[in-house]
Amino acid sequence: MTYLFIPTAVAGFVVTCTDIRTRRVPRAVIVGGSAAQLLCLVVWCVLYGQWPSLAMSVVLGLGSALVQLGLAMVRPGTLGFGDVTCTLMMGFAVGWFGLTAVLMWWMLMGLIGLIMLGLCKGRGGDSIPFAPAIVLAAVIVVLLSLF
């Protein structure tokens, strides 16, 4: 079942590399990754009938993106819209495993973000790319949920 999340893993890798290099999250990659991930989940549900998991994935993915959007609006300039869309894409994969996985993902995302912030501030940086924290936390939680 690991292969089910390859679209998000590949798109997450591309987004992470791009965000580190340019501080931009390419929307085309997010749209393509999200569409491919949802297509894989729908095909899985057609074959194996796990429709509640698909519904949970979509609801938790959208909910996570809305929370991230709210956080971005509280203090404009701290989180970009790319981080919000990256959260949506990764949320589709993490959401498949339920609310507990999503809560673990958010806690791990915050922890990784704080570590990255500490490392970058220590080097004199004024901003950090947050998509790598979103993606790394999601990959860890998905792998832990699978095994």
**77-103 pLDDT, tens per residue?**
778 899 999 999 999 999 999 999 999
Predicted pLDDT at 120: 76
For residue 114, CA distances in Å to 23, 50, 118 come to 17, 36, 6
Nearest in space to 10 (alpha carbons), one of 40, 41, 33, 38: 33
Residue with structure tokens 């947050």?
A: 130
Walking along the chain (147 residues) 10 residues at a time, the average pLDDT comes out as: 89 96 94 97 95 97 96 86 94 96 97 89 73 96 92
Predicted pLDDT at 124: 61
The structure's pTM equals 0.91
Phi, psi values for residue 123, rounded to 5°: -95, 5
Predicted pLDDT at 70: 94
Distance CA(45)–CA(50), nearest Å, equals 5
